[in-house]
Amino acid sequence: MKTKLPVRSFSRALVSLAITAIALSLNLPDLRAQAPAAGGPPAPPLTAAAMKGKTAGKFYRNVKVLKDIPAADLHNAMEYINVTLGVGCAYCHTIGKFDSDNKREKNVARSMMRMTMALNASVFDGKREVTCFTCHRGASKGAPTPVFPGEKSPTEPTAAEIVPPLAVRNITKLDPGMSPSKAPATVVSGPAAAPKPMAVAPASLPAVADVFSKYTQALGGTAAIGKVTSLVEKGTVEMLVPPPPGPQGAPPVPPAIGTVPAEIDRKLPGKVVVSAQFPGRAPNREGFDGIIGWIGPRELTGSELALRREFAEFPPASKFMEDHFQVQVDAMEKIGGRDAYRVVGKRPDGSAIDRLYFDAQTGLLLRSYTTMQSVLGSFPEETNYDDYRVVSGLKVPFTMVVVDPEGKQTYKWSQVELNTPVEDSRFTKPLPPPPSPTPAAD
């Protein structure tokens, strides 16, 4: 289930998230294997429409710990495990038989999920304070012993290996007195300290409407933006690149940092397709056709679909105020040596706060920061915009640098065209590859 989760608003996801998702989905297994087995009801299609209103336990086969979450959200939870443990789907699952429990790692993962949920529910007042990342930090096994900088964790057995039944079966057995909110207040002798003054935003900060108005004018104005019907960007991306396919049976070659051709095509309103060309492979593509989001033949669901819908909007951050509430300018920060106004806004569901940074002098967007949420934890992503150039009266960033838990991706466009005809067929989800032929019996 190794796909990159785009990230929350269009501003953070522009180009980078899409291409990263393509790269990570090269070995994406089919979740259909998690559906009812042969002899039972036919497997439901892995579409947002088929999952609507269904829980993971009702839609997929043999989901136990996360059975009550929406079926459309299961993929994000699995992706969170992939990223925070630094593993692929095959670490816990038997590829092609996802419902099988024949791997011990899968049962340990269930215990770990129960443990973190129990701790959060009973010790941290229901807040998500403990996640997979709390201990794993990108390693499949949490380090039981502190290590010196530059050294690897000792290879001694982990607690999960020594005490396999780690799951907390009944969270009511935990002492509620362990909750930090129940801890007694600190006793301070002497006179009471004077209350700290409430933080007050500097009077010099502009109104949020003025920041977005200046951004619109910096891009070229409402009229120039309104004339855009399509946008085609071509260039390269420097990122972790998979090697060309090797001969059958050869040991796998790990990916390495490299630069490959990349392209993004947009058709307004709300259609986008991104492609990257890795050596020795067919072009990898993902997109949104206005209704369906996809990565290769896989349809996106849940929050992934919502993020891709936002990703298709143009220009970056143009609908931030519509998609958030309590939007305000709350600080001035330095971004690349430049003064920048920080704009914050809460998501409609209250799950997180997203941030934008606008150049105080030019008004252009310099950076966006967001997190993609899952039931187990969140993924941070920061997108930096630079090298704005005028194309047909509109300023477009020719350089974007994305930093996320899986590394850094640098996008450089050499050619940007506005209002170039783009066929609707480019945004259509591709068909899955035909099944491999069944080998003849001996």
pLDDT on residue 26:
35
Could you write out the DSSP letters of every residue in 105-151? HHHHHHHHHHHHHHHHHHTSTT-----HHHHHTT-SS--SS---TTP
Whether 165 and 215 share a structural domain? no
List all residues 6 or more positions away from 389 whose beta carbon is below 8 Å from its beta carbon. 395, 396, 398, 416
Find how far residue 86's CA is from the centre of its chain.
15
- How large is the average pLDDT for residues 288-312? 86
Q: Is 200 part of a structural domain of the chain?
A: no
Whether 265 and 383 share a structural domain? yes
Q: Judge whether residue 10 has pLDDT over 50.
A: no
Whether 144 and 227 share a structural domain? no
Instruction: Fill in the DSSP letter of residue 59.
Output: H
CA dihedral 110, 349, 19, 428 (to 10 degrees): 100
CATH number at residue 358: 2.50.20.10
pLDDT on residue 88:
85
pLDDT on residue 440:
52
Whether 209 and 160 share a structural domain? no
Q: Is 10 part of a structural domain of the chain?
A: no
Whether 354 and 285 share a structural domain? yes
Q: Is 11 part of a structural domain of the chain?
A: no
pLDDT on residue 15:
33
Whether 159 and 227 share a structural domain? no
Mean pLDDT of the chain: 79
End position of a domain, from candidates 182, 215, 235: 182
Residue 234's DSSP bridge partners are 263, 415
Q: Assign 306 a pLDDT band (cuts: 50, 70, 90).
A: confident
Whether 176 and 209 share a structural domain? no
CATH number at residue 103: 1.10.468.10
Element (H, E) at 225: helix 222-226
pLDDT for 208-251, tens place per residue? 999 999 999 999 999 999 999 999 999 999 988 888 888 888 88
Q: Is 274 part of a structural domain of the chain?
A: yes
Q: Assign 332 a pLDDT band (cuts: 50, 70, 90).
A: very high
Whether 176 and 214 share a structural domain? no
Residues in the chain: 442
Q: Judge whether residue 160 has pLDDT over 50.
A: no
Q: Is 4 part of a structural domain of the chain?
A: no
Element (H, E) at 427: none
Q: Is 154 part of a structural domain of the chain?
A: yes
Range of the domain at 291: 205-427
For residue 74, give the nearest of 42, 40, 46 by alpha carbon. 46
How many separate domains does the chain show?
2
Q: What is the pTM of this model?
A: 0.74
Q: Is 372 part of a structural domain of the chain?
A: yes
Whether 45 and 158 share a structural domain? yes
Whether 178 and 211 share a structural domain? no
Whether 177 and 86 share a structural domain? yes
Helix ranges restricted to H, 295-400: 302-311, 320-323
Q: Is 346 part of a structural domain of the chain?
A: yes
Q: Assign 2 a pLDDT band (cuts: 50, 70, 90).
A: very low
- How large is the average pLDDT for residues 299-306? 82
CA distance 306 to 318: 16
Whether 38 and 104 share a structural domain? yes
